[in-house]
Structures are given as C-alpha cells and as structure tokens.
C-alpha cells in the first residue's frame, strides 16, 4: 500500500511517500480502507520528537485522523462493525499505534466510530481532532455544565471555533478573542461578544464584559497569559491550558487560590478510550445537526504530506484544514 511515513524523527523533509506492506488487523482491531486523512499540529510534534510518545518500529506511518470504510475485522473485534460501513478515528499515530496516512490502517475497535448518515467524509475528517479536543477541554477538563460564562481565546481557529459551538450548545455565554478578520465567523457560531486579541485594553474590555467573572477560560493561541486569565476568573473558575508546548508563563498563585480557582493542563493524546468515545458521540451529534463544518479546506493527494507539515510549521495554514486522499 502507499503511505506517508518517516524512518527517523526530525524535520518535515524526512517525510517519505511510498510503498509499505499492508497492515493486518490483530486482536480487537478493524482494518479500514482510508478515504481521507488530515494533519494536526500534534502530528508535527510527534514527527519532530517534541512530543515524546511510544512509537512502533520504523517505518512509522504518520497521522491521527482518518475516515474510511471497514474492510475486515480481526479476531476479538466483535460484531460491532460490518464491511463497507463508513467509520472514523482520531487517535492513531501515537502510543504505539501506526498512523492513518495510508491506503489502509488498522484501528482498535474501541477507538473507531461510525460517521453519521448524510455527513460528507471529506468535510468531517477535517474537524474530528479539533472538535474532540474542544469537547474534552470544555467538559472533561473544564467541568462546564449548563450555562455559565466561557472565554475562548483564539476563537477563529479550528479548535477555537469548535469550543464556541460546543459552549453555546451547552447554554453558556461565550466571550471570544480573535483577529478582526474572524469576528463575523465567530459571531455566526453564537459568541455573545468578540474582541480583537491585539486590543491594548483587552484585559479591561473582557473584565467589563464579564463582571461576575469567567467560569471556564480556554486559550488556543499558544500564548498563555495566566496573570490576565486568573484576574478574569469567577469564584471556582477553571483555566484549561491546552496549547503552547514551549510556553512558560507566570502563575499568580495568591489570586488563584483566593478565588478557589484551578489550572488544568490538557493534551488529547492522554485522553482515555472512554473519554474519546464520549467526545466522539458529542462530535457525531453536532455533525448530524449540521454543525462543526470546516471554514476552509484544501484537498491534496497523500503525497503532499511533507509539504503540508512544512506549511503548517511555517504558519501558512491559518484557519485552513488540509485533507489528504490516498
């Protein structure tokens, strides 16, 4: 089969595209004919070695996400999936699992989900990872219930947009920061207020918009201003830190504990199978309802994987998802 893979950790120019032996489903696994995959920042972290995770022996196939059709099931996979069903996964390519960027992939049955009827696979694959990330950040780690006030930093991006959609759906009042070019988009998702993240009086404007404080604070930008975030917190508010792998901000401990506040670090790579399944159910529900549509999608052959990694690391894909087809 054709696949995009690496034979050692390092920069994007180490990504190869070529023939590898096709995989065979083992115990509890499902063989999937891949229709499409995509590229996430965490894929680059794994490829470069920044995110240390157990990898299978090289050559290592890249990629977390896939949408495809069931080809066969291995022993112990149960009778839950039938040949030809359209399915998806967002947790390959790390923790000892080969990736999704190939003509075929094996997926543990408990990490595989059906795509809702009527949802276009080539659109859906672009949102699986950002949407699952957003759901886990808000509900599993942010403890969002019904209502409350949520601040989404970097709301114009893919994860940020999903955060806004899920929070609004949960009845929260959403405040957002984004570049002016993204304001109309973020408002269309239901955000109550959108502020330019570069505004010199940003902290003051957000404080005026949330006089009772923020219950859940999530910033996707990778620049975590914990001093400002703690100042905005409501009593027992939660800050979810989910980006900025090299970020080392100052934490104002005194104000944080005086508010009974908390800071939670979160990486989707550490989500349990049960947490991923819960997020997948929520993603499917919103997809079926017509939500979580990607803003901009580029379609390329799988052979463009190396160039896609390079463009992503160069910051050339703002708001754009690249869908790669085997």
Q: Is the CB of residue 195 less than 8 Å from the CB of residue 202?
A: yes
- Can you tell me whether residue 231 is helix, strand or coil? helix
Residue range 287-316, pLDDT digits in tens: 999 999 998 999 999 999 999 999 999 999
- Can you tell me whether residue 63 is helix, strand or coil? coil
Q: Is the CB of residue 54 less than 8 Å from the CB of residue 15?
A: no
Interior angle at CA 217, CA 211 and CA 221, nearest 5:
125
Distance in angstroms (rounded) separating the CA atoms of residues 245 and 248? 9
Place of tokens 């079926």: 288
Distance in angstroms (rounded) separating the CA atoms of residues 125 and 287? 11
Residue range 219-274, pLDDT digits in tens: 999 889 999 999 999 999 999 999 988 889 999 999 999 999 999 999 999 999 99
Q: What is the pLDDT of residue 167?
A: 98
Q: What is the pTM of this model?
A: 0.95
SS3 readout for 110-168: HHCEECCCCCCHHHHCCCHHHHHHHHHHHHHHCCCCCCCEEEEECCCCHHHHHHHHHHH
User: How far lies 314's CA from each of 42, 149, 270, in Å?
Assistant: 15, 34, 26
Segment 118-127 shows an average pLDDT of 96
Interior angle at CA 56, CA 53 and CA 60, nearest 5:
95
The superfamily in CATH containing domain 2-126+294-325 is Medium-chain alcohol dehydrogenases, catalytic domain (3.90.180.10)
Displacement of CA 37 from its chain's centroid (Å): 13
- Can you tell me whether residue 174 is helix, strand or coil? strand
Is the Cα torsion angle 125, 130, 131, 135 positive or negative in sign?
positive
Displacement of CA 288 from its chain's centroid (Å): 18
Q: Where are the domains of the chain?
A: 2-126+294-325, 130-269
The superfamily in CATH containing domain 130-269 is NAD(P)-binding Rossmann-like Domain (3.40.50.720)
Nearest to 138 by CA among 171, 116, 110: 171
Q: How many CB atoms lie within 10 A of CB 223?
A: 13
**pLDDT tier, 3 (very low <50, low <70, confident <90, very high otherwise):** very high
CB burial of 54-84 (b: ≥16 within 10 Å; e: otherwise) equals: ebeeebbbbbbbbbbebbbbbeebeeebeee
Residue range 144-199, pLDDT digits in tens: 999 999 999 999 999 999 999 999 999 999 999 999 999 999 999 999 999 999 99
Does residue 59 have a cis bond before it (omega within 30 degrees)?
yes
Segment 1-15 shows an average pLDDT of 98
- Tell me which DSSP letter residue 299 carries: E
């Amino acid at each position: 089969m054709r696949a995009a893979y690496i034979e050692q950790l390092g920069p994007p120019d180490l990504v190869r595209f070529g023939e590898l032996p096709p995989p065979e489903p083992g115990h509890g696994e499902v063989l999937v004919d891949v229709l499409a995959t995509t590229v996430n920042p965490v894929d680059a972290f794994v490829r470069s070695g920044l995110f240390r995770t157990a990898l299978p022996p090289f050559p290592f196939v890249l990629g977390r996400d896939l949408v495809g059709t069931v080809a066969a099931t291995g022993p112990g996979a149960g009778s839950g999936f039938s040949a030809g069903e359209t399915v998806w996964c967002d947790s390959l390519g790390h923790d000892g699992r080969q990736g999704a960027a190939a003509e075929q992939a094996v997926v543990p049955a408990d990490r595989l989900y059906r795509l809702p009827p009527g949802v276009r696979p080539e659109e859906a694959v672009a949102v699986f990872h950002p949407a699952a990330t957003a759901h886990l950040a808000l509900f599993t780690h942010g403890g969002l219930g019904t209502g409350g006030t949520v601040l989404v930093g970097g709301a114009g991006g893919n994860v940020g947009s999903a955060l806004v959609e899920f929070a609004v759906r949960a009845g929260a009042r959403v405040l957002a920061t984004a570049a002016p070019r993204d304001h109309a988009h973020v408002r269309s998702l239901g955000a109550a207020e959108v502020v330019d993240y570069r505004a010199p009086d940003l902290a003051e404007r957000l404080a005026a918009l949330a006089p009772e404080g923020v219950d859940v604070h999530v910033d996707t930008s990778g620049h975590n201003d914990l001093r400002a975030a703690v100042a905005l917190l409501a009593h027992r508010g939660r800050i979810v830190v989910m980006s900025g792998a090299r970020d080392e901000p100052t934490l104002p401990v005194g104000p944080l504990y005086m508010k009974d506040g908390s800071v939670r670090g979160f990486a989707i790579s550490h989500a349990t199978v049960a947490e991923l399944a819960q997020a997948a159910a929520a993603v499917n529900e919103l997809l079926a309802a017509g939500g979580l549509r990607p803003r901009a999608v580029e379609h390329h052959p799988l052979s463009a994987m190396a160039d896609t990694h390079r463009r992503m690391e160069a910051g050339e894909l703002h708001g754009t998802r690249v869908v790669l087809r085997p």
